[in-house]
Each structure stands twice: as C-alpha cells, then as structure tokens.
Chains A and B, each alone.
Chain A
Amino acid sequence: MKKNVTINLSGRLFQIDEDAYEMLQQYINSLHSVFGKNEGGDEIVSDIESRIAELFEELKQQGIEAITIDHVKDIIVRIGEPEQLDDAEGESNHGQSEQSNSQSKASKRLYRNTDDKMVAGVLSGVAAYTGVSVTLWRIGFVLLALFNPVNAVFRIQHYPFPFFMGTLMLIAVYVIAALALPQADTPERQLQMQGKAVNPQNLANAVVDDKQIEKQSGVLRGILSVLLKICLGFVVVLAIFVCIILCLSFLFVLTATVFALAMPKFSVNNIDLPFMLGAMGLSEVWTNHPAMLICFATALLTALFIPLYATIHFVLNLTKNAQPMGTTQRIVLILLWLISIGCAIPLGGSIGMYYSHFRHKHTAEVNMWMTDFDRDYLHKNGWKLLKNHDCDNHYVGSGEYFTGDTAKNYLEVWGCSGQQVFQVATEIHPVEPGRYLLSCNARAMNPGVYIYATAPASNLKVFSMVPAEGNREGDIWEDAKERIKLGDVSADLPQLKAIANANNGKGYGWSKVEIEFTIDMPTTLTYGLTTDDSFVNFGDAKWDNSTRWFSACDFKLERVGDANED
C-alpha cells in the first residue's frame, strides 16, 4: 500500500504515488537547474512537462489509474537525463559525458545527514563529505571530547572530572554546526552530500535507498541516540541556567554602575552603591577605563543574550508559536555571537589583570583582602589590622551611630560564624610619662570585646570590656534620656535629643568605654580593640562564640595628669 497524491501537470490531473511524485519533482527540478541558465529555459521545461503529461495520459488510457515510480523511471529514461538534453555545447564532449554520467563526481557539499543521525547528523554529514566512516568520526569525537588537550590547559582546581573547557568547546562547535548546516532533507541534497551527480538515475536510487535506511535502525542505535540526546539536553539546560545567572548578575552590576554614576551618594539599606563596584574590584577599572568596562559588559550581555534568545525561539518553535529562523538570521546571530565572544574574552582578560593587580596591591598593604573603602577608613584612622580571622572581609560600618548620624563610619565586624578574632592597633611613639585616659564609644552583641593599651617597656597591659548591650539603648542613650528628663538646658540639648531619639527612640546600644593607666617612663604605647582570648588572657568573660558583631569609634587618648600623682 502506498500513499497517493494528485498532481496538476500542464492543466491535467493525475493520481501518482508519493515516491513517484518525489522522483518526478526531483527530475523537473534538475531540468530547471540544467536549462534555467539558458535562454528560454523555462519554456523548454514546460514543454517537457506537457510531454510528460501526454505520456501519463497515454498510461491513463491504458487503464492505469495510479502512476508508480516505475512509470516515472521509464518516462525519465525515455525523455532523457538533463545532462543528455543540453544540446548547446553537448556535441563536442557528448561521448565523454555519456560515459561518465552515472558515476560522475559533482562537487560535494556539507549537509547534516538526518537519515543517519545520533543527535543532529553533523558527524554523519561530515563523514559523507570526507568519505571517512561515520563510526570513526563518532569515536574520534568522543575521544577528543574526553581527552581534549584544552582540558589540561583550563583545568579548574578541585574539579574532579577530567573534562571541562575543551569538552564544552567541542560541544559548542557541534551545536553551532548543527544550527548552521542545512539538513540534507531532499534526495537532491543527499546526492550533493555524497558528491554524486544529480541525475534521474541517482535520484531514483536515492529515493529507493531512503526507504531502506528507515527500516534498518536497530535497538542499540536507538538507545545510544537517546542517551546522547539526554547528555546534550543536560548540557543545554546547564548552559541556559548559567546564562541566566550570568545575565542577572551582569544586569545587577550594570544597574549598580548606572546608579553609582547618577547618584554617587545614593544609598540603600546604608550600603553605598559604589561599594558594589568597589567590592568587585572593578572601581579602579571603572575610573581608569570606563569604555573598556562598558564594552565588556555589552559584549558579555550580547554573548549571553543570543543563546537565550535562540533557546526561547526554539521553545516557541517547538510549541508552534514561531517559524524556524531563516539561514540569514542564523548566520547573523552566530557571527554576532562569535564577535561578542571575541571581544568579551580579551576585554575580560584585561579587566582580570586590573583586578588581580588591584587585589595584589591591597593584599600587600594590609596583608589581606578588603574593599577600598574599608582600607581607606582604617588608614585614615591610623589602625593597623593585626588579626582578622573569620571577619568576612567587613571592617567598617555605618548607619547605627548613637547620634542617628547615618553618614558616620565606625569600626564594625560582623559575621555568621561567631568565631571572629579581630584586633586593631594604633602605635604612638614616644609617650611621655603621665596619667592617661583612653576612651571610645562602642557597643557589642555579647561580652568579650575589649579596648586595650599596652606598653611593654613599662610592663603595661590594660583592658576594658565593651558593655554587651546589643543594638538597643546603651549607656549613652540612657544618659542622654536622663539628662533631658532632669531638664538639661545646656548647649548640648539638641545633641542629647538626637541621641535619645535615635533608632525611633530606642537607641543603638552604644556605651562610652574608658581605661585609665599610668606611664612611668617614655615609651611606645599601643592601643586598640581586640576580641582575641589569647591576647586578653584573663577573666571569665571570654569572647563568646555566639557573638556576632561589635562596633567602635571615637578613640581618644588624653593625658589627664602626672605619673606620680597617686
């Protein structure tokens, strides 16, 4: 049983088998391609078409209702192959062309061979093009994917699998090829793919072979093909996921950049936005080469957007909501993608160099990584960071100062682990003998934060613990409230009111912390803030593991009297 179609040939209707129709179509197409270039070529083809119609008519009169592929083959033999018919220059080399007609090698073309495919038929097409067995190509591809030399070059630390960059690149090449190469979906293209001349004889064979190949697909092949498709699908999903993440984060950076440009002082939740660029180490690049950063972001976004667009298009196409992309569109998109990748990689490299230079500089200066802002603050206030275990790289805070002044910065460490060991120091040299008072404003979540002063030459090591009152009330707040209640009329009143009203009248937990000590000979004095048990080395009030944060600022060292006063 065969499917049957009705065709209109020179104004007459014929019933014809589908394979016979396909063959006839190919024959007429190849006539067009042979005669099309001559003057009156279309006329010749339409004359031949009416001749075919006449011959069909004769068959009809013999009582044949449906024209089969054998009828079409007979008619093609009768009318002749297109190469035989071209009379203009055929005379001198006629004999030669007749001899080589059936085996003549036309120029090969690269197609995807979808008749023998595992995934998209790219390797099968390449095999047909090169004449090397498709099995060899497949084995070679898998081996190259697993043992690609590029993998060794771009090996990611601690990544357990032996394949990564090279494998991804190979898969990317495959995907690009699958998108860019046309499918060998007609017998004519299949002949071109195999490098055979497009003539009726070969077309007839191609049409017949087509049917046989369909029957040959085995169970093992099917399983392999499904497995490969699952792998490829997984890679595609992963790629899409990564693309989305990267897109979002870059949109975030772009937004931050725009905000930073438009409103340098704008702040959300007390975090200054330029901090975002600073935190990513990009502020230096931004100051010196804004164009580079913008180009990079644009190229990267383009490189990320195109696959995303293609995927969305593909999904729409699957759900029948969009036409497949045209070849031009595909090529333009692929070119655009390659260009943007080509731009993004070297630009990213340069930016990376800046970043590592920047990071290296900062690391060298304070022996650890921190933001520009924090480094400047510590530097400006004369702090040397001695210990910073588990401090999450945050050293400066703002927004909860006891006066309610949100712009005021202070030393602040917070983190989730509760294991922070922190110590800053300021050295003063020389310090004359005398009675001294070290004071600061500070607050802490839990006990265990101390201000300290040491002078080894005087055998001095004194501490004073920061009261742990959390981020509510605090001595300073209580004192201000008390004084307002008592009817303070001094010039400090507005200040006191500000303190009492801070945090909607709840205060932020700040207290004044003081130590008084005596220096009996000229010496070098070191003072600072610490949470280090081994440094403090006394008492029960150890730095509590549950402690999350503390803040301190306004350190002041005053000479309050002579050494021998007491």
Chain B
Amino acid sequence: MNIENAKSQMRKGMLEYCVLLLLKHKPLYASDIIQQLKNAELLVVEGTLYPLLTRLKNDGLLNYEWQESTQGPPRKYYALSPEGKQFLEGLDSAWTELSNTVNHLKEL
C-alpha cells in the first residue's frame, strides 16, 4: 500500500462532500466543478465526476437545468435540491466531528 494510493482513496471519499459544498452557493456546470476541484487537487481524472453527478442527481440531492451558453451549445447547470441541502448539513456536522477527532488525535 503506497502513499499515492492512500491519498487517492481519501480524495475519493471526500469528493462527494466537496462537490455538494461547491454547489451550496450557486449552480455550476460540470466544467466549472472540474476546474475548481482540479485547483484544489481533489480530482485526478475528470471522468470520475460524471458518474458521481449522475448518481447524486438520481438520489434526488441535485437538480439541473439547461442554460444557454455564450460559446457553444447549452450547458447543464447543477444545483442543490432541498434534500441536498439537508444532506449537506448532515455531512457538515459529520465533517466537523471528524476533523475535531483528527485534530484531537494529532495533538495527543
């Protein structure tokens, strides 16, 4: 088990939460999300995002609507649904707990 592998698994676990966080304030389309996640070095291969978005949408956590684009064809803009907001709150508290635990463990 090498370090890269462990990191990638951590990132993968975080990905869902981060996507929901990105969508908390405003709707985004897939390439925006990819750009932001890449900047945060959370995404290695772009394709990972699409199955995730589709799954979240199918679970009712995300909605999307088509919006005209200034360049090229219309884009799919994803936004949080009410259930998604609730879900995000749940994840927020889980994250706070988790990070507290991790910080606590680090300070031991």
Contacts and interface: CB of A to CB of B under 8 A. Distances in A.
Interface stretch (A36-44, A189-197, A447-455, A533-541): A36-44
B53 to A, nearest CB: 7
Tell which of B31, B47, B58, B71 has the most Cβ of chain A within 10 Å: B47
A91 B30 contact: no
A90 B5 CA distance: 13
Nearest to A84: B45
27 contacts: A12-B73, A38-B51, A40-B54, A40-B57, A44-B51, A44-B54, A47-B50, A47-B53, A47-B54, A51-B50, A57-B72, A79-B45, A80-B46, A80-B47, A80-B48, A82-B47, A84-B47, A85-B45, A85-B47, A85-B50, A87-B12, A87-B48, A88-B51, A91-B12, A94-B5, A94-B8, A95-B1
B100 to A, nearest CB: 24
A43 B54 contact: yes
B47 A79 contact: yes
Tell which of B31, B45, B54, B71 has the most Cβ of chain A within 10 Å: B54
Nearest to A95: B5
The majority secondary structure among interface residues of chain A is helix
A166 to B, nearest CB: 55
A10 interface: yes
A77 to B, nearest CB: 8
B72 A12 contact: yes
Given A87-B51, A95-B5, A51 B73 contact: no
Interface string B15-48: 0000000000000001100100000000011111
B11 to A, nearest CB: 11
B85 interface: no
A526 interface: no
B9 interface: yes
A40 to B, nearest CB: 4
B1 A87 contact: no
Interface residues of A, number: 32
A488 interface: no
Given A51-B31, A87-B48, 15 more contacts: A35-B51, A40-B57, A47-B50, A47-B76, A51-B34, A51-B50, A53-B72, A54-B72, A79-B47, A80-B45, A84-B45, A85-B47, A87-B12, A95-B1, A95-B9
Contact of B46 (A10, A78, A86, A90): A78
A51 B52 CA distance: 15
A48 interface: yes
A392 interface: no
B48 A85 contact: yes
A50 interface: yes
A39 B53 contact: no
B72 to A, nearest CB: 6
4 closest A-B pairs by CB? A80-B45, A80-B47, A79-B47, A85-B47
A77 B44 CA distance: 10
B13 interface: yes
Contacts of B13: 91
B58 A39 contact: yes
B76 A98 contact: no
A54 B71 CA distance: 10
Given A11-B73, A47-B54, A54 B31 contact: yes
A303 to B, nearest CB: 54
Contacts of A82: 47
Contact of A84 (B48, B52, B53, B54): B48
Interface in A9-54: 10-12, 35, 38-40, 43-44, 47-48, 50-51, 53-54
B8 A79 contact: no
B47 A48 contact: yes
Contacts of A35: 51
Tell which of B1, B46, B50, B71 has the most Cβ of chain A within 10 Å: B50
A82 B71 CA distance: 28
B12 A85 contact: no
A86 B72 contact: no
A81 B45 CA distance: 8
A91 B9 contact: yes
B46 A47 contact: no
